């Protein structure tokens, strides 16, 4: 059985919080989506978000509390 990669939505915003660019990407993991978001970021974009389905998984600058790791 072939596994499909999850789809991520990457959104970039300007200084005023207006959406300036967004795209969808198939990534093997959340980490790959984060790396892609950083790699594609132009200097004009001040903030960005990475979404998987309806879940915000990453943003810069970070405004949500990062999940705590289990020990």
Let me know if residue 66 belongs to a domain: no
| pLDDT at position 15 | 87
Let me know if residue 68 belongs to a domain: no
Distance between CA 61 and CA 6 in Å, rounded?
Answer: 24
Among 40, 6, 41, 46, which residue's Cα sits nearest to residue 25? 6
Q: Summarize pLDDT for 7-25 with one digit per residue, the tens.
A: 999 999 998 889 999 999 9
Let me know if residue 71 belongs to a domain: no
Let me know if residue 15 belongs to a domain: yes
pLDDT band at 1 (very low <50, low <70, confident <90, very high): low
Range of the domain at 35: 8-58
Strands 7-13 and 47-52: antiparallel
| pLDDT at position 62 | 72
Q: Summarize pLDDT for 35-63 with one digit per residue, the tens.
A: 999 999 888 788 999 999 889 999 998 76
Let me know if residue 49 belongs to a domain: yes
**The pLDDT of residue 69 is above 50:** no
Let me know if residue 69 belongs to a domain: no
Let me know if residue 39 belongs to a domain: yes
Strands 55-60 and 47-52: antiparallel
Let me know if residue 30 belongs to a domain: yes
Domains of the chain: total: 1
């Amino acid at each position: 059985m072939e596994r499909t990669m999850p789809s991520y939505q990457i959104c970039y915003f300007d200084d005023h919080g207006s959406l300036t660019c967004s795209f969808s990407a198939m990534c093997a993991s959340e980490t790959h989506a984060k790396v892609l978001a950083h790699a594609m970021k132009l200097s004009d974009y001040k903030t960005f978000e990475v979404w998987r389905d309806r879940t915000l998984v990453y943003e810069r600058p970070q405004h949500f509390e990062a999940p705590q790791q289990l020990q």
